[in-house]
């Protein structure tokens, strides 16, 4: 459930960042205008009047102004760059450094643990 919520929030943020809310609002405005115009005229005339640039509703004007403001304020710096900017990535030289490994159990001079113990008796004792 939490994964679906995260995906939904990311999708919503992406739609807002790309300006899709204006397209959705414009579509709703066209639908409302078509329905309103179809009540007084035929459907073909209503669709033609809806998409005519002469008969814009207030919502269509607001959406057009918001889209223009968003495209004019895109976050890209207005100062142009003379030519291309080339970014060259050169591989870093491989450097190998020896690693000093120290094992605390081997610091007693290489004597293995248990070397001072006596060997087990041969043959093993039998239980009677």
Per-residue pLDDT in tens (0 to 9) along the chain, 128 residues: 788 999 999 999 988 888 888 888 899 999 999 999 999 999 999 999 988 888 888 888 888 888 888 777 655 555 666 777 777 777 878 888 887 777 666 665 556 666 677 777 788 777 87
pLDDT of residue 35: 92
Using only C-alpha atoms, the chain has a radius of gyration, in whole angstroms, of 39
pLDDT of residue 114: 65
As given in the structure block, the two tokens for residue 52 are 């005519």
Q: Is the peptide bond before 123 cis (omega within 30 degrees of 0)?
A: yes
pLDDT at 104: 67
pLDDT on residue 28: 92
Any alpha helices (H) in 1-128, and if so which ranges?
A: 2-18, 20-38, 43-50, 58-72
User: What is the distance in angstroms between the CA of the first residue and the CA of the last residue of the chain?
Assistant: 69
What CA–CA distances, in Å, run from 83 to 74, 75, 79, 80, 111? 21, 20, 12, 9, 71
- The answer to whether residues 37 and 46 touch, using CB atoms and an 8 Å cutoff, is yes
| Helix pair 20-38, 2-18: axis angle to 10 deg | 80
Whole-Å CA distances, 29 to 11, 22, 128? 23, 10, 102
pLDDT at residue 75, as a whole number: 58
What is the residue extent of each domain of the chain? 19-72
Model pLDDT, residue 9: 94
CB neighbours (10 Å) of residue 104? 6
């Amino acid at each position: 459930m939490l994964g679906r919520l995260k995906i939904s929030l990311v999708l919503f943020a992406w739609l807002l960042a790309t300006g899709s809310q204006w397209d959705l609002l414009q579509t709703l405005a066209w639908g409302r205008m078509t329905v309103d115009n179809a009540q007084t005229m035929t459907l073909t005339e209503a669709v033609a009047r809806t998409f005519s640039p002469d008969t814009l509703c207030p919502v269509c004007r607001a959406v057009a102004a918001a889209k223009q403001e968003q495209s004019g304020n895109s976050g890209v710096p207005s100062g142009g760059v003379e030519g291309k900017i080339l970014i060259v990535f050169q591989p870093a030289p491989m450097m190998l450094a020896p690693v000093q490994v120290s094992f605390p159990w081997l610091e007693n001079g290489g004597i293995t643990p248990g070397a001072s113990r006596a060997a087990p008796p041969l043959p093993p004792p039998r239980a009677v």
